[in-house]
Amino acid sequence: MKSPNSLFSDRRRSSSGTGSISSSFMTHSPSTSTYSSTTTSSNKSTPGKNPVKIAAKTVAEAFVSCFTPPEPKPSSNNFGDSSDSFKAPSVASDGGSEKRRSRGRSIYASESNSIHAKEAGSVKFTMGEIYKATRNFSPSLKIGQGGFGIVYKGRLEDGTVVAIKRAKNTIHDKHLGVEFQSEVRTLEKIEHLNLVKFYGFLERGEERIIVVEYVPNGTLREHLDCGPGNVLDFASRLDIGIDVGHAITYLHMYTDHPIIHRDIKSSNILLTENLRAKVADFGFARLAADTESGATHVSTQVKGTAGYLDPEYLSTYQLTEKSDVYSFGVLLVELVTGRRPIEPKREIKERITARWAMKKFTNGDAILTLDPRLERSAANSLAMEKIYELALQCLAPHRHNRPTMRKCAEILWSIRKDYKELAG
Identify which of 160, 152, 211, 207 has the alpha carbon closest to the alpha carbon of residue 184.
211
Coil, helix or strand for 170? coil
- Total residues binding ligand ADP (CB under 6 A): 22
In our burial notation (b when 16+ CB lie closer than 10 A, e otherwise), range 65-76 reads: ebeeeeeeeeee
Residues in region 242-281 near ligand ADP by CB under 6 A? 267-268, 270, 280-281
Q: Single out the residue of 30, 54, 5, 7 nearest to residue 301, CA to CA.
A: 54
Q: Coil, helix or strand for 266? A: helix
Please state the φ and ψ torsions of residue 156, each to the nearest 5 degrees.
-75, 170
Pick one of Mg ion, ligand ADP, none as the site partner of residue 393 (Cβ within 5 to 8 A by kind).
none
Q: How far apart are CA 123 and CA 134, in angstroms?
A: 18
Q: Which of 281, 310, 324, 334 binds Mg ion (CB under 5 A)?
A: 281
Quick one: 281 or 334, whose CB is closer to ligand ADP?
281
Residue (59 or 130) nearer to ligand ADP, CB: 59
Count of chain residues binding Mg ion (CB under 5 A): 4
CB of 194 to Mg ion, least distance (A): 15
List the one residue from 156, 163, 209, 370 that touches ligand ADP (CB under 6 A). Answer: 163
What is the nearest approach in angstroms of ligand ADP to the Cβ of residue 5?
A: 25
Binding mask 133-152 for Mg ion (x = CB under 5 A): -------------x------
CB of 216 to ligand ADP, least distance (A): 7
Q: Is 263 a catalytic residue?
A: yes
Q: Is residue 165 marked as binding?
A: yes
Nearest 5°: phi and psi at 404? -75, 165
In the complex with ligand ADP, which residue's Cβ is closer, 280 or 387?
A: 280
When CB distances are held under 5 to 8 angstroms depending on the partner's kind, the choice from ligand ADP, Mg ion, none that residue 194 binds is none
SS3 (DSSP) at 204: strand
Instruction: Name the residue whose CB lies closest to ligand ADP.
Output: 146
Other residues' Cβ atoms within 10 Å of the Cβ of residue 404 = 15
Q: Which partner, ligand ADP, Mg ion, none, binds residue 212 by CB below 5 to 8 Å per kind?
A: ligand ADP
Helices (H), 158-266: 175-189, 220-224, 234-252
Residue 215 touching ligand ADP (CB under 6 A): yes
When CB distances are held under 5 to 8 angstroms depending on the partner's kind, the choice from ligand ADP, Mg ion, none that residue 163 binds is ligand ADP
Cβ contact 77:159 at 8 Å: yes
Out of 263, 281, 324, 371, the active site residue is: 263
Task: Tell me if 268 contacts Mg ion by CB under 5 A.
Answer: yes
Minimum CB–partner distance for residue 165 and ligand ADP (Å):
6
Report d(CA 258, CA 152) in Å as an integer.
30
Spatial neighbors of 27 by CB under 8 A, at least 6 apart, are: 1, 2
Alpha carbon 159 to its chain's center: 28
* Residue whose Cβ sits closest to Mg ion: 281
Residues between 280 and 339 with contacts to ligand ADP, criterion CB under 6 A:
280-281
- Tell me whether residue 267 or residue 327 sits nearer to ligand ADP (CB atom): 267
Instruction: Determine if residue 196 is left, alpha or beta; phi over 0 gives left, psi from -120 to 50 gives alpha, anything else beta.
Output: beta
**Integer angstrom CA distances of residue 344 from 76, 193, 333:** 45, 35, 17
Q: Which among ligand ADP, Mg ion, none contacts residue 306 (Cβ within 5 to 8 A by kind)? A: none
DSSP-assigned beta bridge partners for residue 161: 155
Q: Looking only at residues 132 through 161 of this chain, which bind ligand ADP when binding is defined by CB under 6 A?
A: 143-148, 151
| Residues annotated as part of the active site | 263
Which residues of the shown chain bind ligand ADP in the complex (CB under 6 A)? 59, 63, 143-148, 151, 163, 165, 196, 212-215, 219, 267-268, 270, 280-281
Binding residues for ATP: 165
Which residues of the shown chain bind Mg ion in the complex (CB under 5 A)? 146, 268, 280-281
